[in-house]
Amino acid sequence: MRKILIVEDDTAIAAIERDYLEIDGFDVEIAPDGITGLERGLSGAFDLILLDLMLPGLDGFTVCRKLREQVDVPILMVTARQEDIDKIRGLGLGADDYIEKPFSPSVLAARVKAHLARYQRLAGPEKRKAEITLGGLRLNTETHRLYVDGREVELKNKEYELLLFFLLHIDAVFSREALYERVWGMDAMGDNATVAVHINRLREKIEEDPANPQIILTVRGTGYRLGGAYASE
């Protein structure tokens, strides 16, 4: 049974989230504050973490950042404020997605299932090289480590998944909506602007000149593709 950690100080909201997830067959634990949430999240006992932003003890941003340093499970952040959504996009904390309050139980369950399924695909036994090398890029799919011209570059979880997706689909052009659906693991009903944010952040880490990208190219009016020099190898 998949285990979900809900980090939420509002007991009524936490109970509703727990009840609907348990109906779908998940084993759910609730942490009532940021400190407890961080401690339980770092235990490695959970398959997904549902993390509220406004928490006593430690705020959700801090908890997410500390969790992502050590834990590789889906983290879904929950907020009711647009300014928090903007901050989630901009900070690159390593959250996999956000859910905006109020949300329906069916949306919550669908998001949780989609992210769990995507992580299972990434972590499962696949007929894939342990290491993919193209040009100056060397990506290890077991350790998730990236080397650019011999230099190790740290990637957030979603940055890794985006780069891996491009490397596995050489010569293909993908729209922002298609990338959102394929990499985030759900139909692009949410805000696919997060794709552009993550691609820009990825370019800053792997491109010699992020303002003039040669690895991940923008195809005007269409989407993105791997750069020609890399795609041709």
Cα distances (angstroms) measured from residue 213 to each of 25, 55, 132, 172: 45, 39, 20, 17
Which residues contact residue 104 at a Cβ distance below 8 angstroms, ignoring those fewer than 6 apart?
A: none
The class (CATH top level) of 131-231 is mainly alpha
Q: Is 231's pLDDT higher than 50?
A: no
Cα distances (angstroms) measured from residue 175 to each of 34, 64, 114, 178: 37, 29, 20, 5
- Structural domain spans, the chain: 3-123, 131-231
Which residues contact residue 211 at a Cβ distance below 8 angstroms, ignoring those fewer than 6 apart?
A: none
| Interval 137-176: pLDDT, tens | 999 987 888 999 999 999 988 889 899 989 888 778 999 8
The answer to whether residues 215 and 206 touch, using CB atoms and an 8 Å cutoff, is: yes
111 band by pLDDT with thresholds 50, 70 and 90 = confident
Q: What is the 3-state secondary structure (H, E, C) of 39-58?
A: HHHCCCCCCEEEEECCCCCC
Give me the mean pLDDT over the 81-85 stretch: 69
| Interval 172-221: pLDDT, tens | 899 988 888 778 765 444 567 788 889 999 999 999 999 999 999 999 88
Q: Is 13's pLDDT higher than 70?
A: yes
Which listed CATH number (3.10.180.10, 3.40.50.12240, 3.40.50.720, 3.40.50.2300) goes with 3-123? 3.40.50.2300
Choice among 20-29, 107-116, 185-194, 208-217 with the minimum mean pLDDT = 185-194
Residue 54 burial by Cβ neighbours in a 10 Å radius (0-12, 13-18, 19+) = middle
- Our CA angle for 224, 146, 46, nearest 5°, is 95
CA atoms within 13 A on the CB side of 111: 26
* More confident of the two residues 124 and 58: 58
Give me the mean pLDDT over the 46-55 stretch: 93
Residue type, 117: A
**Which H or E run includes 100?**
strand 97-100
- Helix, strand or coil for residue 93? coil
pTM beyond 0.75: the answer is no
**Given this model, what pLDDT does residue 87 score?**
64
